[in-house]
Amino acid sequence: MPVLGRRPDLCQAARVTDRPLLAVDAPSLYFRAFHGIPENAARTDAGEPVNAIRGFLDMIAQLVRTRRPDRVVCALDADWRPAWRVELVPSYKRHRVAHGDVEEVPASLERQVPVLLEVLEAVGIPAFGVAGYEADDVLGTLATTQPAPVEVVSGDRDLFQLVDDERGVRLLYCGRGVAKLEDSDNALVERKYGVPARWYADFAAMRGDPSDGLPGVPGVGEKTAARLINRYGGIEEILAALDDPEAGFAPGLRAKLKNSEEYLIKALPVCRVARDVALPPFDAALPSAPEDPDRLLALAQRWNLAGSARRLVDALAGPG
């Protein structure tokens, strides 16, 4: 996956700032834009759909206006179904495979993504993935290694695990769209799921997640998973406690967990977002004007993106 952005020879330098890094889950947002805007409402003069591109650019413009970041990075899926995760849990995302190991993506969306990446490059917003990893893993590494505050933007619940009040990492959860962001700290995660953010991956592995092909532990739902985590800790602690007769497990629950022990051991690293991915060089500093205005103008004219491009440029030029 090529790196797109300004001055690719530079890494984001350490800095002290009170303005956030906006770490954007690009696939999450462009899928949402594609499904949220009818194709017939956003086309070129030749009839080519650009609904995902327009919607994505408008989302970024709104985020820049409302969150006032001083840095922006878009994370991509270089590998949407990494082999190392499939080896651990073969059902991982299996239901979303179109053929071979290719993700099932609408053809009209697939054609828009390269154009979107060209637009981001012309604007000067870096967008990259890392071979063998998903966008989530790039986001996890950014949240762990980049100067805080960091605001991760995604509609993926798995990223609640990145919330870290002490470090200054929040999830701007856009499950209902960017206009209705849930600005998530640890208290919000606990209210929604009954567990601290640091245990969300353990919670998800036990509960299961059909959208990712994770079966979970049969007979263990959200409430039971949360109760176990709050009493014993994460999956490793829960499994260690199973052999302790004083741990207080009901016989039926102990049997369910014992029967799923192998699954849980393998599912936990699948559910945990990687935080140590070797990121390519990048410069995340938010541009105040397009990096290549002539190229942006040409792309806007070719793809009928003038309105969305102008809104993004105006947002970049807003008050610093």
pLDDT attached to residue 102? 60
Domain ranges of the chain: 21-192+275-316, 197-271
Please report, as a single letter, which amino acid is at residue 98. Answer: A
Amino acid at 249: F
Q: Can you list the positions of beta strands (E) in the chain?
A: 21-25, 71-75, 97-99, 102-103, 127-128, 150-154, 169-173, 182-184
Which DSSP helix (H) or strand (E) runs through 235?
helix 235-241
The domain 197-271 belongs to what CATH superfamily? 5' to 3' exonuclease, C-terminal subdomain (1.10.150.20)
> What's the CATH code, domain 21-192+275-316?
3.40.50.1010
Question: For residues 21 and 141, is the Cβ–Cβ distance under 8 A?
Answer: no
> How far lies 119's CA from each of 68, 190, 315, in Å?
21, 38, 15
Tens-level pLDDT at each residue, the chain (320 residues): 334 444 333 344 444 568 999 999 999 999 999 999 888 899 999 999 999 999 999 999 999 999 999 999 999 999 999 999 999 999 999 888 765 566 678 899 999 999 999 999 999 999 999 999 999 999 999 999 999 999 999 999 999 999 999 999 999 999 888 888 999 999 999 999 999 999 999 999 999 999 899 999 999 999 999 999 999 999 999 999 998 888 889 999 999 999 999 999 999 999 999 999 999 999 999 999 999 999 999 999 999 999 999 999 999 998 75
Give the pLDDT of residue 287.
96
Q: What is the pLDDT of residue 96?
A: 80
CB contact set of 260 (below 8 Å; sequence gap of 6+):
217, 218, 220
